[in-house]
Amino acid sequence: MSAEATSPGARSRRRGRTSIDLRRLGRAALLGPASRDRLPDAIGHVADAHRAHHPDADLLVLGKAYVLAEMSHRGQFRKSGEPYITHPLAVTLILAELGAETTTLTASLLHDTVEDTDVTLDQVRAEFGDEVCYLVDGVTKLEKVDYGAAAEPETFRKMLVATGNDVRVMSIKLADRLHNMRTLGVMRPEKQARIAKVTHDVLIPLAERLGVQALKTELEDLVFAILQPEEYERTRAVIADRATTGPSLDTIAVDVRRTLREADISAEVVIRPRHFVSVHRARLKRGEMRGTDFGRLLVLVGEDADCYAVLGELHTCFTPVISEFKDFIAAPKYNLYQSLHTAVAGLDGAVVEVLIRTHQMHRVAEAGVVALGNPYTPVDGAEPADGERADPTRPGWLSRLLAWQESATDPDTFWTTLRADLAQDREISVFPADGGMLGLPAGATCVDAAYAQYGDGAHGCIGARVNGRLATLSTVLVDGDTVQLLLAQGPVQAPGDAGGAGGLGDAGGPGAERTGPVAGQAQEAAPGPSPEWLDHARTPAARIAIAGWLAANPESLKVPESEPRAPGAVTAGRRGVANVVVDVPEDATVRLAGCCTPVPPDDVTGFLVRGGAVTVHRAECSAVGRMAALGRSPVAVSWGDEAECRVTLYAESFGRPRLLADLTEAIATAGAAIVSANVEPPSEQRVRHTYTLQLPDAAGLAGLMRAMRDVPGVFDVRRAQHEPAS
């Protein structure tokens, strides 16, 4: 039966009419038009399909909406020559077959009245209420005379914002686009291609994210036929010829039914043929197609536990392909999809894919958010708390999309970013260390997590810990990671306004040579994001925020000039540096030796070296003996009044998970700042760490070393006494 509507006024309902198969309608639309001797009684089919899902539905409001739509569109025709009323009727039939509730069907009948007729939103509100009015307004296009070339992107922006409040808006739009794609053959080829491209880039990803697989797969096939006609015809020929090598799906389905019957498991086993695009992808992946490659087995059971019982029987009685097993029941997809996926091989080696789910899971898998019904319906007869509705259809990706679109004021930026965002078709969940969950697209980095959690506050991010280990902000996250973002203390300023540590390289993993400041350490204002962050940002929210900050702070793109060092204290021809006062010629430089990094109140001595510089060593440093043996005369050295100092420490430890995170936390708790860090590769289960630390007071050095020794796995912490052996 065609999805096209009847002539105006025909609204009779005949009992006993067979149910319309949405997939069969789509296949018919692809393979050719049905007979048009007469239009079907579409409003009757809408009523029958609606009652099949909602037996107690009140059809009076549908009849009322149909009368208004028919009268409003009377005299209008589609480009195919059919009365225009056939379009809203066909859209409503699609939604009715998916199980949409009465309010959605009412709005779908009226979805073009405000846009194409003299009916106003106020009239719709007065006749059908606020909900129907909101849905109709949500799918009504913006006028090109008002928006020009920006009409299409701004229409989608308006529709997405409306979808954020009521997901049924997008359900109607998807059904509307499906019927338009079915009847696109009357359009010029260039217009067909333009509409198909937008459908491919925007509508199909939205259908996937909302879980409406029945619409998504048919839209994919229709777009495939327009954008890749040669590949489509080749795939169509392959399906028509259908490979006969190996056992057929029917044979394996019989074996599976017998296996489950003998195990006393009540289950329905059906064959689900692959749609055109799925066959095309399988052919590219596998080359020659066998009989079992043209479809999958779908096993439907009553309860969740039965799904796992079926899985156990199949893996016991057939040879499982373990790499193909996926459990989307325990871990549902972000688009509400739940099912067990597996593949088993028969005696001759033919492999068949099997999907196992309950009948309710199957309904949601096909209809997605449409199957959830009215988000405004009270739960268990109780009104939602505080007057707010309980809407389970507001997924994380939609919340993120609504957030970043507010920053994309330019229509071109919005349109380009929307397509790029929707192209990322997988989602991961990561967990902030302070609780909660962040939903991010696959491939997201710590940069994306920072902006998802803190918004513009992420401009001051200086590093991250992933699963307790220090990581760069460019680290790609995987599903289930725990993320702690390290933020600078104080406001974010442009690089020329304040010093501080920032950038993608400020924090390193366990194999990195340098790390940035650690949480808990006092920080000056952070310099804000660097342009390199854009290379690692995957989410539109992060990219728009970073680009906005860089545009507002153009000086951040300049390399800041080095600030001159403050001169050390000079008294009567004596030069001081790093809290050291030394009797030296006026033009000589003074530096603390890196081999022993002396700190107050160490006994120290100095030696003149090449270039007229003075190097200050601890008295017990091995370099002092070497200098004396060479006949070098020592220089008098004393400590100044400043308490701050820098020291290098070696830590020897056994290798274990989270060791670096625990050590850096102990250092930060002691109030020390990490200037640089080096972790050598493990040798015989032992790891050597080298830290150069800035201490606010040398008196805290002993306590710091004790705190580091108390870290489990650390067996020695000592000051640098000599150059480390290679």
Residue 558 has what DSSP assignment? S
> Is residue 437's pLDDT more than 60?
yes
Q: What is the distance between the alpha carbons of residues 76 and 245, in angstroms, rounded to a whole number? A: 53
> Is residue 538's pLDDT more than 70?
yes
320, 359, 316, 317: which is closest to 341 by C-alpha? Answer: 320
Which sign, positive or negative, has the C-alpha torsion 22, 26, 29, 32?
negative
* Angle 216-169-18 from CA coordinates, rounded to 5°: 55
Phi, psi angles (nearest 5°) of residue 634:
-70, 155
C-alpha to C-alpha distances, 502 to 169, 488, 529, nearest whole angstrom: 43, 8, 7
Number of residues in the chain: 726
> What pLDDT, in 10s, does the model give residues 283-294?
887 777 777 888
Q: What is the distance between the alpha carbons of residues 343 and 256, in angstroms, rounded to a whole number? A: 12
pLDDT at position 410, please? 74
The structure tokens 């997988």 sit at: 426
Percentage of the chain exceeding pLDDT 90? 21
Window from 135-144, 256-265, 390-399, 598-607 with minimum mean pLDDT? 390-399
Q: What is the distance between the alpha carbons of residues 157 and 166, in angstroms, rounded to a whole number? A: 14
Instruction: Kindly indicate the confidence band of residue 385, based on its pLDDT and cuts at 50, 70 and 90.
Output: very low
Q: What is the distance between the alpha carbons of residues 69 and 63, in angstroms, rounded to a whole number? A: 10
Most confident of 370-374, 379-383, 396-400, 586-590: 370-374
Buried b / exposed e along 652-682 (16+ C-beta atoms within 10 A): ebeeeebbbbbbbbbbbebbbbbeebbbeee
Mean pLDDT of 219-223: 94
Three-class secondary structure of residue 353 per DSSP: strand
Most confident of 215-229, 468-482, 498-512: 215-229
Q: Return the active site residues.
A: 115-116
pLDDT at position 503, please? 38
pTM of the model: 0.61
pLDDT at position 372, please? 73
- Other CB atoms closer than 10 Å to residue 564's CB: what's the count? 6
Instruction: Kindly indicate the confidence band of residue 642, based on its pLDDT and cuts at 50, 70 and 90.
Output: low
Q: Output the six-digit token pair for 124.
A: 């719709």
Which residues, other chains included, contact 724 with Cβ-Cβ below 8 Å and sequence gap of 6+?
A: 650, 688, 690
Most confident of 32-41, 403-412, 488-497, 643-652: 643-652
* Angle 241-243-248 from CA coordinates, rounded to 5°: 125
> What pLDDT, in 10s, does the model give residues 544-593?
888 888 888 776 555 444 444 343 333 333 444 455 666 655 555 667 77
pLDDT at position 225, please? 93
Strands (E), 219-266: none
pLDDT at position 488, please? 67
Q: What is the distance between the alpha carbons of residues 517 and 504, in angstroms, rounded to a whole number? A: 12
The structure tokens 């056939």 sit at: 86
The structure tokens 């009409």 sit at: 151
| Mode of pairing for the β-strands spanning 482-487 and 427-432 | parallel
Mean pLDDT of 261-273: 92
- Other CB atoms closer than 10 Å to residue 351's CB: what's the count? 18
The structure tokens 């933020």 sit at: 487
pLDDT at position 581, please? 62
Q: What is the distance between the alpha carbons of residues 215 and 182, in angstroms, rounded to a whole number? A: 12
The structure tokens 């009215």 sit at: 374
Q: What is the distance between the alpha carbons of residues 487 and 29, in angstroms, rounded to a whole number? A: 56
> Is residue 94's pLDDT more than 50?
yes
Q: What is the distance between the alpha carbons of residues 693 and 257, in angstroms, rounded to a whole number? A: 70
Q: What is the distance between the alpha carbons of residues 725 and 24, in angstroms, rounded to a whole number? A: 76
Secondary structure string (H, E, C) spanning 32-86: CCCCCCCCCCHHHHHHHHHHHHCCCCCCHHHHHHHHHHHHHHCCCECCCCCECCH
pLDDT at position 357, please? 95
pLDDT at position 108, please? 94
β partners of residue 83:
77
> Is residue 502's pLDDT more than 60?
no
Q: What is the distance between the alpha carbons of residues 63 and 57, in angstroms, rounded to a whole number? A: 12
Q: Which residue has the higher pLDDT, 584 or 92?
A: 92
Cβ(271)–Cβ(249) below 8 Å: yes
Most confident of 155-169, 599-613, 630-644: 155-169
Window from 210-224, 243-257, 340-354, 520-534 with minimum mean pLDDT? 520-534
3-state helix, strand, coil in the chain (%, to 5): 45, 15, 40
> What pLDDT, in 10s, does the model give residues 645-671?
778 888 888 777 778 888 888 888 888
Q: Which residue has the higher pLDDT, 75 or 405?
A: 75
Q: Could you write out the DSSP letters of every residue in 147-160?
A: HGGGHHHHHHHHHH
Whole-number mean pLDDT of the chain? 76
342, 360, 362, 361: which is closest to 352 by C-alpha? Answer: 342
Window from 190-199, 307-316, 713-722 with minimum mean pLDDT? 713-722
> Is residue 306's pLDDT more than 80?
yes
Phi, psi angles (nearest 5°) of residue 149:
-65, -20
37, 32, 48: which is closest to 6 by C-alpha? Answer: 37
Three-class secondary structure of residue 425 per DSSP: coil
> Is residue 395's pLDDT more than 70?
no
Window from 105-119, 231-245, 397-411 with minimum mean pLDDT? 397-411
β partners of residue 430:
438
> Is residue 476's pLDDT more than 50?
yes
Environment class of residue 125 by beta-carbon count within 10 Å: exposed (0-12), middle (13-18) or buried (19+)? middle
Percentage of the chain exceeding pLDDT 70? 75
pLDDT at position 495, please? 37
Q: What is the distance between the alpha carbons of residues 394 and 64, in angstroms, rounded to a whole number? A: 31
* Angle 67-68-74 from CA coordinates, rounded to 5°: 85
The structure tokens 């899971």 sit at: 361
Which sign, positive or negative, has the C-alpha torsion 32, 37, 41, 43?
positive
The structure tokens 């692809």 sit at: 30
Window from 50-59, 382-391, 655-664, 689-698 with minimum mean pLDDT? 382-391
> What pLDDT, in 10s, does the model give residues 605-629?
887 776 567 787 877 787 777 777 7
Phi, psi angles (nearest 5°) of residue 308:
-75, -30
pLDDT at position 172, please? 94
Torsion on CA atoms 140, 146, 149, 153, rounded to nearest 10: -40
